[in-house]
Amino acid sequence: MSEDIDKGRRRFLTVATSVVGGIGAAAAAAPFLMSWKPSAKAQALGAPVEVDVSRLDMGAQITVAWRGQPIWIVRRSQEMLNMLPSLNNQLRDPDSAETEQQPAYAQNATRSIKPEFLVLIGLCTHLGCVPTYRPDIGGVGADWPGGFYCPCHGSKYDLAGRVYKGVPAPTNLMVPPHTYVSDSIILVGEHHQGSMA
């Protein structure tokens, strides 16, 4: 046998082995790489949630789920809104100075795009318990003006989700990203663009 034949055969076997090995590696890697892709259920959990607030009564609250968290939407009356400034001296962060607690468009006195509708993540900022909505004056004590009360450790929040001084919760309730699709449809999970009248 000549050396040319051996080199040709060797080259052929090397190429053939490389091709078969590459195909095998790709076939073995495909399921592994596909496992990194989020499932349809996981993608749906992170998707924005559309909420119709047209039937929400004044002073009422509804809860929807977004990313596995309770999202509260409260329709506040003018009386509820008028009371907010009078509580400032009792609150830890009345001006919502901690910007991580709400998007820039909700960093205002009412912590909302439209003052009438408050949108919050319904988890206490102390240990993640779910506070209760207690809008009734005197419902948690004689001096209770209405708001959110966490029964786990006694944290209190006003009707803008701002935390009172002297309670375990360190920060205000968080405002999730949200926007208005129309006057009565809120889209939770997408940031607001522009301003709403």
pTM of the model: 0.75
Is 153 a catalytic site residue? yes
Task: State the catalytic residue, choosing from 153, 178, 191, 192.
Answer: 153
Residue 118 in contact with residue 160, Cβ under 8 Å? yes
Torsion angle (degrees, nearest 10) of CA 173, 98, 116, 147: 40
Complete DSSP assignment for 12-66:
HHHHHHHHHHHHHHHHHHHHHHHHTSPPHHHHHHHS-EEEE-TTPPTT-EEEEEE
**How large is the C-alpha radius of gyration of the chain?**
28
Query: In CATH, what is the architecture of 44-188?
Result: 3-layer Sandwich (2.102)
Using the structure block, give the residue that is written with the tokens 């206490």: 124
pLDDT computed for residue 75 by the predictor:
97
List the chain domain ranges.
Answer: 1-37, 44-188
Tens of pLDDT, residue by residue, the chain (197 residues): 555 567 778 888 888 999 999 898 888 888 877 777 766 666 666 789 999 999 999 999 999 999 889 999 999 999 999 999 999 999 989 888 877 889 999 989 999 999 999 999 999 999 889 999 998 887 777 788 989 999 999 999 999 999 999 999 999 999 999 999 999 999 999 888 764 44
